[in-house]
C-alpha cells in the first residue's frame, strides 16, 4: 500500500537536476521503453516504465533500493523508441548516481554488485588508460564470491591466458596522465 506521507514530491525534480535526468518529467508512461527492452524480454522483474513511474510519483526509497535499477544494459533501445525524448538510459544513470551518493552517505543500502564492478572498472581505466580484465574480474570475484568463488573461475582465466585473450599484468597505454587529469576534472564537478 502506498501512503502519500511516504512519497517525496521533490524526487522528480532532484532527478531532473542530475546530469542525464533532465527529461524525466516528459514521461507519460506510454510503455514504449519496456516493450522494446531486450532485458525486459528475458527478465520480467525489469521494467523501465515502472522505475520511471515510481520516480515520478516520489517513491524515492523504493526506486533507489530497487535491485532492478542496476539491470539496465544501456542498449539505448528505449531511448530510440521514446516518443517524448525522455532519454531513459540517461535518466536511469541519473537515478543510479543518486542511489550511489545515498549509499555512500549511509542513507540506503545497495545490494546489487554492479556498482562495485563499475567502480573497479573505472579505477582500472584511471590507472591504466584502459580496463585490466584480470585485475578487475579477479577483484570483483574475490569481493563478491569470496576466495572459493574466485578460485572457481581460475580454470577459465587460465584458458583465456593460454589463448592470448587475457593478460596477467595490466598494459598501460600512452596518455595515462591525461586520462587521470580528465577524471580529476570530472570528479571536481
Per-residue pLDDT of 51-84, as tens digits, reads: 999 999 999 999 999 999 999 999 999 999 999 9
What mean pLDDT do residues 102-128 have?
Answer: 93
Looking at every residue in the chain, the average pLDDT score rounds to 92
What is the pLDDT at residue 42? 93
What mean pLDDT do residues 75-102 have?
Answer: 95
Give residues with Cβ within 8 angstroms of 100, minimum separation 6.
Answer: 110, 115
Using alpha carbons, list the distances in angstroms from residue 46 to 41, 70, 88, 96, 129.
9, 9, 14, 15, 33
Name the CATH topology of 4-104.
Answer: Fumarate Reductase Iron-sulfur Protein; Chain B, domain 2 (1.10.1060)
Higher-confidence residue of 172 and 105: namely: 105
What mean pLDDT do residues 30-49 have?
Answer: 93
pLDDT tens profile 123-176: 999 989 999 999 999 999 999 999 988 888 889 889 999 998 888 888 878 888
What is the pLDDT at residue 189? 66
What is the pLDDT at residue 16? 98
What is the pLDDT at residue 30? 94
The pTM of this model reads: 0.82
186: confidence class by pLDDT, cuts 50, 70, 90: confident
Which of 104, 36, 37 lies closest to 68, judged by CA? 37
Domain chopping of the chain, boundaries = 4-104, 114-188
5: confidence class by pLDDT, cuts 50, 70, 90: confident
Amino acid at each position: 500500500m502506498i501512503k502519500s506521507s511516504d512519497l517525496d514530491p521533490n524526487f522528480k525534480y532532484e532527478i531532473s537536476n542530475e546530469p542525464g535526468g533532465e527529461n524525466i518529467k516528459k514521461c507519460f508512461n506510454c510503455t514504449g521503453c519496456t516493450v522494446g527492452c531486450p532485458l525486459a524480454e528475458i527478465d520480467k522483474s525489469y521494467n523501465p516504465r515502472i522505475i520511471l513511474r515510481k520516480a515520478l510519483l516520489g517513491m524515492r526509497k523504493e526506486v533507489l533500493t530497487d535491485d532492478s535499477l542496476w539491470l539496465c544494459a544501456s542498449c539505448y533501445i528505449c531511448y530510440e523508441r521514446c516518443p517524448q525524448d525522455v532519454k531513459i538510459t540517461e535518466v536511469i544513470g541519473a537515478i543510479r548516481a543518486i542511489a550511489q551518493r545515498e549509499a555512500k552517505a549511509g542513507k540506503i543500502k545497495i545490494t546489487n554488485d554492479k556498482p562495485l564492478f563499475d567502480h573497479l572498472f573505472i579505477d582500472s581505466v584511471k590507472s591504466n588508460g584502459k580496463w585490466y580484465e584480470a585485475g578487475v574480474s579477479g577483484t570483483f570475484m574475490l569481493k563478491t564470491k569470496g576466495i572459493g568463488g574466485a578460485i572457481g573461475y581460475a580454470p577459465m582465466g587460465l584458458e583465456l591466458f593460454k589463448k592470448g585473450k587475457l593478460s596477467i599484468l595490466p598494459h598501460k597505454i600512452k596518455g595515462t596522465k591525461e586520462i587521470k587529469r580528465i577524471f580529476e576534472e570530472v570528479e571536481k564537478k
